């Protein structure tokens, strides 16, 4: 039970998300399907919370210089990367940005980009959730493959 709680916590943290939650769970003996389901659901549940934060709390925090500086630095980097591609490919870029499990991508960044570009919420939620599910499949596969290869070597 302790490992499952840590899986959920790692899956909702913006630094680790699924990239931390699923490998942690599997390497701590949780069934891969259970690990996938709990991590993905926890990560999807973050989506409306982030939208709520950006809509209701973010504006208040912009009065804090440190927050404003950090947010502007982060958003400028992410928007510049995506803006040109997004203008031609739309929600598919948002999906890819969430689905490809690389550092700096995931549900948090997907919501932030959706919010910044003022995309339709329902379509964005579905796109980001589908991206989270896809990333979960990729990470589960890579974790199981890596674990299997590691077992063969040692």
3-state secondary structure the chain: CHHHHHHHHHHHCCCCHHHHHHHHHHHCCCCHHHHHHHHHHHHHHHHHHHHHHHHHCHHHHCCCHHHHHHHHHHHHHHHHHHHHHHHHHCHHHHHHHHHCCCCCCCHHHHHHHHHHCCCCHHHHHHHHHHHHHHHHHHHHHHHHHHHHHHHHHC
The pLDDT assigned to 31 comes to 96
pTM reported for the whole predicted model:
0.84
pLDDT digits (tens, 9 = 90+) for 24-41: 999 999 999 999 999 999
Count other C-beta atoms under 10 Å from residue 85's C-beta.
13
Q: For the chain, which residues make up each domain, given as ranges?
A: 45-153
- What is the tens place of the pLDDT at every residue in 52-64? 999 999 989 999 9
Quote the pLDDT of residue 154.
39
Q: What is the pLDDT of residues 88-131, one digit of tens each?
A: 567 888 999 899 998 888 999 999 888 888 888 999 999 999 99
pLDDT value for 74 = 79
């Amino acid at each position: 039970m302790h490992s499952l709680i840590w899986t959920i916590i790692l899956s909702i943290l913006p630094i680790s998300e699924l990239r931390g939650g699923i490998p942690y769970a599997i390497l701590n003996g949780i069934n891969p399907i259970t690990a996938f389901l709990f991590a993905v659901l926890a990560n999807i549940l973050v989506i409306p919370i982030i939208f709520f934060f950006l809509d209701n709390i973010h504006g208040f925090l912009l009065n804090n210089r440190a927050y404003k500086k950090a947010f502007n630095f982060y958003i400028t980097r992410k928007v510049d990367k995506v803006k040109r591609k997004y203008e031609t490919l739309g929600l598919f870029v948002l999906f890819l940005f969430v689905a490809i499990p690389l550092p700096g991508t995931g549900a948090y960044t997907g919501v932030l980009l959706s919010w910044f570009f003022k995309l339709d919420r329902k379509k964005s939620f579905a796109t980001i959730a589908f991206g989270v599910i896809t990333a979960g499949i990729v990470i589960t596969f890579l974790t199981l493959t890596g674990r299997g290869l590691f077992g063969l070597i040692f």
